[in-house]
Structure 1
Amino acid sequence: MSPAQARAVRFDEYGDRDVLHVTEVPMPRPAAGEVLVEVRAAGINPGEAAIRSGAMHERFPATFPSGQGSDLAGIVTELGAGVTDFALGDEVLGFSWQRSSQATHVVVPVSQLISKPDALSWEVAGSLYVVGCTAWAAVEAVAPKPGETVAVSAAAGGVGTVVVQLLAVRGAHVLGIASPANADWLTAHGATPVPYGDRLADALRAAAPDGIDAFIDLFGPEYVQLAVELGISRDRIETIISFQKAQELGTKSAGSADASTREVLTEMADLVASGRIEIPIAATYPLDGVRDAFAELEKRHTRGKIVLIP
């Protein structure tokens, strides 16, 4: 790879993981208000798999050839005109809205970056944006008060682990719906584990005899329906994934786009750097292992984040 080249994940058509490949691309150059970041870590997310497969074509169409990824952390290596927020060599974390972070280098507007706290590893910093801002938006959507009970589906997944902890930080009693294998982790992080299964509604009622005040769905439409059947007020039911069901039932569907600000990202980075919230790292893969990384992700049983290390 010459200095004029970067390497990036690409796909040229919708499909399974086998459409993903890593290729040399021209080194991106920052325009005014942008910086070039040498990427040290880039988290992967379920939404990227849905976009790649074409499942999200109506909502988030791809333009081919398409890059991939929004989470990133790395080092500033070039400044665009007028940039004063950062200097060469600064360690940063943030996000790209160009589906471009799964690469060795990426151009990012300074408005989408913050300084990386020293306490954060590259892996954690590079996987913070989507889970951190999505969790923040989801929790804000249900507006929990201290002492209230909030149920969370997929509570041990990438976003779920952060939602559970953020709710606990805000003083809520959390019912974490997950497999029995995650019970110990949920208990250790302030939640009451509730195993999913055929009698889930009964298990939730037993865990919260005084009622459930809010529900955050991170998995699928069946949980939005369940929340309604449990009698939870529809303005306190939130889903980050089941948009059609939310529209049908009149519930909420906030996501990372509703919280993609420097202020929210800084708040979440500070919570993680201080140790009040943990971002579990389930696995790391080299950039060339992107197919294997998504194979692991798509099993839908990963606790925490899977991260590419370019």
Structure 2
Amino acid sequence: MKAACFSRFGGPEVLEIVELADPHPGPGQVRIAVRAAGVNASDWRKRAGLMDEGLPQTLGYEAAGVVDEVGAGVTDAVVGDRVFGLSADGAAQAELAVLSFYAPIPPSLDFARAAALPAAVETATRALDRLGVGSGDTLLVNGASGSVGSAAVQLAVVRGARVIGTASPVNHAYLRSLGAEPVAYGAGMAERVRALAPDGADRALDVAGSGVLPELIALAGGADHVVTLADFAGAERYGVTFSRGDTGRALHALSGIGELIASGRFALPVVRTFPLAGIAAAHRFGENGHARGKLVLVVG
């Protein structure tokens, strides 16, 4: 099968499409013929050598496609099913992928839109669960206009929370459409938040990792009311929880998102699609900060 890979760390130019052996599912897993695969910021951090030291490496944590092989013990999927989910081995940007966690694609979604869902929905839900966000809470989301941030905004609104989201002014109308009250990030952000919520927030989620953890801690009334998805060093320094998938995933989010989409309470737009061979262009586009929402590789 063809798959995205790199054998040295560096910029997008190190990415290659190579031939790899076809994978096969283990117990409880399914293999899909990939139709679309999501691209995430963690992909270019991985490519730059900021996450794992081993080489060569494959890419891709999420994909959507058609089941073409099932592992032992699988009873909730058969060959021919349309599913989306999370990769078992970080190699979803390929013609074939093994999924450990999956769910049926909601009928209203095509493969590209389905591939945009798993990582953002699971990550956002995991963070909201860790924070205990519920009805009546005020949640501050730092970096609310990206794929994970916009998912967190919508899922928090579904829970009955009031959401204040930071973003550049060009994205404020978008955040309002999701149910958030937007504020501009940068100098004076805390004062702008307090203009909307004089008592601050009950909880704060840092998606952007832009060095604002001290302000979020002050606004949320303590480090134990803050979770970051992007600032590992700051989390250690300030005693904030850094949420990562290897500490437990919110897999219930995948099976529940279809109902929210069908009812119009959740939407995650695909910003731009690229062919698998265009993966370097997708990385350049994402790293330049042009993407609002999600980038997706169309494979088949």
1:98 aligns to what?
89
1:16 and 2:11 equivalent? yes
Per mean C-alpha deviation after superposition, the further-off stretch among 289-298 and 227-236 is 227-236
| Residue 203 (str. 1) matches residue 198 (str. 2) | no
Superposition CA RMSD, Å: 1.8
SS at match of 1:307: strand
Residue of structure 2 aligned with 1:150, choices 139, 160, 185: 139
CA deviations 1:126-168 (Å, max 9, x no partner) are 1211100110011112212322221111100110110111111
Q: Deviations over 1:35-85 (max 9, x none)?
A: 3210011101101111110122xxxx2432211001111001123444433
CA contact (8 A) 1:30 1:78 kept: yes
Q: Quick one: structure 1 residues 32 and 137, their matched pair in 2 at CA, closer, same or farther if it must change by over 3 Å?
A: closer
Greater Cα offset, 175-184 or 139-148: 139-148
Relative to the length of structure 2, the TM-score reads 0.93
Q: For 2:37, give the aligned amino acid.
A: A
Show the counterpart of 1:260. 249
Q: How far apart are the structure 2 equivalents of 1:99 and 1:48? A: 10
Partner of 2:287: 298
Most deviating of 10-19 and 195-204: 195-204
Retained in 1: the 8 A contact 2:203–2:220? no
Superposition deviation, residue 120 in structure 1: 2.2
Residue 167 (structure 2) pairs with residue 172 (structure 1): no
User: 1:33: how far off?
Assistant: 3.9
Match of 1:3 in 2: none
Q: Where do residues 202-281 of structure 1 align in structure 2 (5 Å cutoff)?
A: 202-220=191-209, 222-230=211-219, 232-258=221-247, 260=249, 262-281=251-270
Whether the 8 Å CA contact 2:88–2:98 is kept in 1: the answer is no
Distance 1:20 1:187, change over 3 A: same
- Residues 16 and 231 of structure 1, relative CA distance in 2, 3 Å threshold: same
1:124 aligns with 2:113: yes
Give 3-state SS (helix, strand or coil) of 1:73's partner.
Answer: strand
Secondary structure of residue in 2 paired with 1:230: helix
**Matches of 1:261 and 1:105, distance apart in 2:** 24
Alpha-carbon distance in structure 2 between the residues aligned to 1:7 and 1:151: 42
Q: Map 1:179-198 onto structure 2 (within 5 A).
A: 179-198=168-187
| Equivalent AA in structure 1 for residue 88 of structure 2 | W
Q: Which runs of 5+ in 2 are unaligned?
A: none
Tell me, yes or no, if structure 1 residue 309 matches structure 2 residue 295: no
Distance change >3 Å, CA 177–CA 23, structure 1 → 2: same
Query: What does the per-residue CA deviation read over 1:186-237, in whole Å, with 9 as the maximum and x for residues that have no partner?
Result: 1111111101122212111112123221111011151212112436221111
Following TM superposition, by how much is the alpha carbon of 1:98 offset from its aligned partner in structure 2, in angstroms?
A: 1.1
Which range moved further: 40-49 or 213-222?
A: 213-222
Shift of 1:32: 4.4
Match of 1:52 in 2: 47
Superposition map of 1:274-289 within 5 A? 274-289=263-278
> Is 1:68 equivalent to 2:63 in the alignment?
no
Alignment of 1:27-38 (within 5 A): 27-38=22-33
Could you state the TM-score of these two structures normalised by the residue count of structure 1? 0.90
Q: Distance in 1 between matches of 2:104 and 2:42?
A: 26
Q: Equivalents in 2 of 1:97, 1:29: separation in Å? A: 11
Unpaired segments ≥5 residues, structure 1: 1-5
Q: How many equivalent pairs are there?
A: 299
CA distance in 2, matches of 1:121, 1:216: 30
Q: Is the 8 A contact 1:214 1:233 kept in 2?
A: no
Deviation at residue 257 of structure 1 after TM alignment:
4.0
* 1:62–1:268 distance in 2 versus 1, CA, 3 Å: farther
| 3-state DSSP of counterpart to 2:241 | coil
CA distance in 1, matches of 2:248, 2:108: 23
The DSSP-based 3-state class of the residue aligned with 1:176 is strand
Contact 1:133 1:255 in 2 (8 A): no
Aligned residue in 2 for 1:26: 21
| Residues 120, 273 of structure 1: 8 Å contact kept | no
Aligned residues of 2:89 and 2:98 also touching (Cα < 8 A):
no
* Aligned residue type for 1:26: A
Counterparts in 2 of 1:231 and 1:173: CA distance versus 1, 3 Å: closer
